[in-house]
């Protein structure tokens, strides 16, 4: 495609494509194309001016080549991207505001006074009716306040003030709605589903398939702990499905053959085969938006209290207007009081502050599901870490495979990878990766794979029962034989390695040694977490006491617990919460899910099990634990902003009321200042809390 260069400075290029008009679809297509290049740091596509601005870190020639290679016909934009774009909504709100401004001032310039008076009276009917409809609720609400102000202006013959007030209310409502919707949509885009591969049934066998290759009618297998990537119908099997992403409730529901399942939900228990009904948007984005907007459980207590206070203050505004008229007999002064209310600003600034903070957290690869959990992080005094995949690196590696039955170590590794790839976890991923690096490919030679939480995996392999997992699972639960010779060989393995025991037909076949090195930043992060206010930092692990003790002393935690089961983690958190502590739990595996649910705020590592991410209230990137410190700082600053907004709103609007009572401000000016301050505070609430790190 050809372009005209409109601006060219180092690292930034602004161009106009050689097209007469850019549609919303074309703008979204450009956006989808440009976001796929790592050398493009930032970009904006403006369909109104038909221009593209690109900030880049490579050479200018490379950017020009990327732009020239673009072709609308060759770029296939996913429907889910178009669904979540928000560009059409932005255009709609922009045009709505421009139209309101043009019509309002156009009437002032063109229409005679009598016509404008008649139009003001007609328009006032809508506001009066909106106010009257709140009366059956038996609460004085801001809509009734607006209706009273407009009515009083009309009755006093001051139709210009009435028209100005209604115009400002129109613009204010539109801006509030636009700002809130944009904030919610930005958050929803960050929470949208992203699944790359699925297990598809082909010729009676399971084949690992790119999610983009799935079409309606395909059958896919979803096992415990995995996310359901498409809307569909259960063909076989049964499972408990966690639908928190759709309903906001974490209580699982039972699904069996014939039942419908939804994209974005997670199989908490069981295994199902699903016939795919929809592969595109499937309404996921809208469902997430609805969950964000309607789920009261996501609001922080400060946010909810501010909204309750907003409605409680309306009667006092009415009382103030009544008393003003009673003592002054000046209707203009009374109307000036009615023009000001606390509700608009409180109901806009508080949720916008929270949504903006959630969006800002996304810049640091932190996904937060609601203001309630930011407040929980700000209030927390205790933080509990699972060791594997959190304090240790998210990608442990296979150090060695020891054969104990005469088979080649590579053959044991190949079989182990065949089992482990069905249940992604940091250690399982290490086994699969080690096999792949050695080129050990395999067919699905096992029968149904069963995962036992925090223990291991069981299946039938070539007519022999095969199990892989912890010492407790393999030897105590499954009663695998352990000869004296093998017992001696196991005792010679260094303590620093985690172990996966692999047994077939009741006999130990081998042991896989896993090196799980500490994250380089772990000890520094623990130190900083103490500095930002966490009084008690705990590590919990299923490893032996000797391994746990060594790790605990290296990272500097205050307390550790070894050889714990999932229920032990959850019961510990429950116990210290009962003692009055505010607790955060951080984990990455299926076995961490009970503890994540029990904590005041559960935090999952992004590369961990899908059910952990689903149940968790917050997800952080796996690359660096420093995001935990950022999360705490962001949470503290948000709470300060909410308190500042509250004081500012109450103080400023009280001042406007007093100036109106004294006759210093006329009603139209009070309305203008009130609406302007509300919008400005809303805009201020969208600014960054932290300096970009």
Angle, helices 626-661 vs 371-379, to 10°: value is: 110
Which of 3-7, 125-129, 227-231 is the least confident region? 227-231
pLDDT digits (tens, 9 = 90+) for 95-141: 888 888 888 888 888 888 888 888 888 888 888 888 888 788 776 67
pLDDT digits (tens, 9 = 90+) for 377-391: 999 999 999 887 788
pLDDT of residue 379: 92
Q: Which residues are bridge partners to 512 per DSSP?
A: 401, 500
Yes or no: say if 607 and 588 are a contact pair by the CB < 8 Å rule: yes
pLDDT of residue 323: 84
pLDDT of residue 377: 93
pLDDT digits (tens, 9 = 90+) for 381-421: 999 998 877 888 756 789 899 999 889 999 999 888 888 87
Confidence of residue 282 (pLDDT cuts 50, 70, 90): very low
pLDDT of residue 545: 79
Model pTM? 0.63
Compute the average pLDDT of residues 187-213: 72
DSSP 363: T
**Is the per-residue pLDDT at 448 higher than 70?**
no
DSSP 392: B
% of the chain at pLDDT higher than 90: 14
Compute the average pLDDT of residues 350-365: 80
Compute the average pLDDT of residues 325-347: 74
Yes or no: say if 500 and 469 are a contact pair by the CB < 8 Å rule: yes
d(CA 188, CA 283): 12
pLDDT of residue 281: 47
**Is the per-residue pLDDT at 284 higher than 60?**
no
**Is the per-residue pLDDT at 310 higher than 50?**
yes
3-class SS of residue 43: strand
Q: Which residues are bridge partners to 538 per DSSP?
A: 384, 559
Burial class (CB in 10 A: 0-12, 13-18, 19+), 58: middle
Token code pair at residue 381: 């005094």
d(CA 418, CA 409): 14
- Which residues, 6 or more positions from 257, have their beta carbon under 8 angstroms from its beta carbon? 234, 235, 236, 237, 238
Burial class (CB in 10 A: 0-12, 13-18, 19+), 83: middle
- Which residues, 6 or more positions from 585, have their beta carbon under 8 angstroms from its beta carbon? 383, 384, 386, 569, 573, 592, 595, 596, 598, 599, 601, 602, 603
Q: What's the angle, vertex CA 623, arms to CA 353 and CA 522, rounded to 5?
A: 95
DSSP 442: -
Compute the average pLDDT of residues 466-491: 86
pLDDT of residue 309: 66
pLDDT of residue 195: 58
pLDDT of residue 430: 84
**Is the per-residue pLDDT at 187 higher than 60?**
no
Confidence of residue 633 (pLDDT cuts 50, 70, 90): very high
Domains of the chain: 3-77 (3.30.70.100), 91-188+301-343+652-684 (no CATH), 197-290 (2.70.150.10), 366-393+518-622 (3.40.50.1000), 397-515 (3.40.1110.10)
pLDDT of residue 536: 94
pLDDT of residue 226: 78
Residue with tokens 């390695």: 497
Token code pair at residue 409: 């170590």
% of the chain at pLDDT higher than 70: 82
Compute the average pLDDT of residues 146-163: 78
Give the phi and the psi of residue 93 in degrees, each rounded to 5.
-70, -40
Residue among 192, 529, 532, 184 nearest 358 (CA): 184
Residue among 485, 428, 380, 379 nearest 610 (CA): 428
pLDDT digits (tens, 9 = 90+) for 569-596: 889 999 999 999 999 999 876 667 778 8
**Is the per-residue pLDDT at 629 higher than 90?**
yes
Confidence of residue 452 (pLDDT cuts 50, 70, 90): low
Confidence of residue 607 (pLDDT cuts 50, 70, 90): low
pLDDT of residue 532: 93
pLDDT of residue 585: 93
Token code pair at residue 405: 């039955």
pLDDT of residue 274: 93
DSSP 591: G
User: Of residues 91 and 344, which shows the higher confidence score?
Assistant: 91
- Please provide the average confidence, as pLDDT, over all residues in the chain: 80
pLDDT digits (tens, 9 = 90+) for 517-566: 788 889 999 999 999 999 999 999 877 777 788 888 889 999 999 888 77
């Amino acid at each position: 495609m050809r372009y005209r260069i409109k601006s060219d400075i180092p690292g930034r290029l602004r161009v106009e494509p050689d097209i007469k008009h850019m549609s919303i679809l074309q703008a979204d297509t450009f956006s989808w194309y440009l976001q796929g290049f790592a050398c493009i740091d930032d970009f904006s596509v403006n369909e109104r001016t038909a221009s593209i601005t690109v900030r880049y870190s490579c050479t200018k020639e490379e950017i020009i080549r990327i732009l020239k290679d673009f072709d609308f016909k060759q770029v296939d934009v996913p429907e889910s991207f178009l669904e979540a774009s928000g560009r059409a909504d932005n255009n709609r709100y922009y045009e709505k505001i421009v139209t309101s401004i043009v019509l309002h001032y156009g009437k002032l310039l063109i229409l005679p006074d009598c016509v404008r008076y008649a139009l003001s009276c007609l328009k006032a009917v809508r506001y009066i009716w909106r106010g009257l409809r709140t009366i059956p609720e038996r609460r004085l609400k801001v809509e009734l306040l607006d209706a009273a102000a407009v009515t009083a202006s009309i009755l006093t013959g001051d139709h210009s003030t009435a028209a100005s007030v209604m115009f400002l209310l129109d613009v204010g409502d539109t801006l509030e709605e636009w700002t809130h919707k944009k904030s919610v949509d930005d958050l929803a885009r960050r929470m949208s589903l992203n699944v790359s591969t699925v297990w598809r049934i082909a010729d009676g066998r399971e084949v690992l398939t790119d999610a983009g290759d799935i079409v309606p009618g395909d059958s896919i297998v979803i096992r415990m702990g995995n996310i359901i990537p498409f809307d569909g119908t259960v063909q076989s099997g049964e499972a408990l499905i966690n639908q928190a992403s759709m309903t906001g409730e974490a209580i699982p529901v039972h699904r069996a053959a014939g039942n419908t399942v939804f994209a974005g939900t997670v199989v908490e228990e069981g295994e199902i085969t699903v016939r795919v009904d929809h592969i595109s948007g499937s309404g996921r984005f809208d469902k997430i938006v609805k969950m964000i907007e309607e789920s009261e459980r996501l609001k922080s207590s400060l946010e909810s209290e501010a909204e309750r206070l907003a409605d409680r203050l309306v009667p006092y505004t009415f009382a103030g207007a009544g008393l003003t008229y009673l003592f002054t007999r000046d209707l203009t002064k009374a109307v000036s009081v009615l023009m000001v209310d606390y509700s608009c600003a409180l109901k806009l600034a508080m949720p916008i502050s929270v949504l903006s903070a959630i969006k800002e957290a996304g810049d640091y690869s932190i996904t937060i599901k609601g203001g309630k959990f930011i407040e929980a992080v700000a209030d927390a005094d205790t933080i509990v870490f699972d060791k594997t995949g959190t304090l240790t690196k998210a990608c442990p590696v296979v150090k060695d495979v020891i054969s104990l039955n005469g088979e080649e170590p590579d053959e044991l590794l190949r079989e182990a990878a065949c089992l482990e790839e069905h249940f992604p976890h940091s250690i399982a991923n290490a086994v699969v990766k080690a096999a792949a690096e050695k080129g050990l490919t395999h067919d699905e030679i096992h029968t149904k794979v069963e995962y036992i939480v925090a223990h291991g995996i069981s299946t039938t392999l070539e007519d022999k029962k095969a199990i892989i997992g912890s010492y407790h699972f393999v030897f105590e639960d499954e009663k695998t034989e352990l000869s004296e010779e093998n017992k001696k060989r196991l005792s010679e393995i260094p303590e620093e390695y985690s172990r996966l025991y692999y047994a077939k037909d009741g006999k130990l076949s081998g042991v896989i040694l896993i090196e799980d090195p500490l994250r380089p930043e772990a000890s520094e992060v623990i130190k900083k977490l103490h500095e930002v206010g966490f009084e008690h930092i705990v590590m919990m692990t299923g490893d032996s006491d000797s391994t746990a003790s060594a790790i605990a002393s290296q990272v500097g935690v205050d307390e550790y617990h070894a050889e714990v089961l999932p229920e032990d983690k959850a019961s510990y958190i429950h116990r210290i919460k009962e003692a009055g502590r505010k607790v955060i739990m951080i984990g990455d595996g299926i076995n961490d899910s009970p503890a994540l649910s029990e904590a005041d705020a559960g935090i999952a590592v992004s590369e961990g099990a899908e059910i952990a991410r689903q149940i968790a209230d917050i997800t952080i990137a796996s690359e660096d634990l420093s995001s935990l410190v950022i999360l705490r700082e962001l949470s503290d600053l948000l709470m300060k902003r909410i308190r500042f907004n509250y004081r500012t709103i109450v103080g400023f609007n009280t001042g406007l009321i007093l100036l109106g009572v004294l006759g210093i401000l006329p009603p139209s000016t009070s309305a203008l200042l009130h609406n302007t301050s509300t919008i400005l505070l809303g805009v201020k609430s969208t600014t960054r809390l932290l300096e970009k790190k």
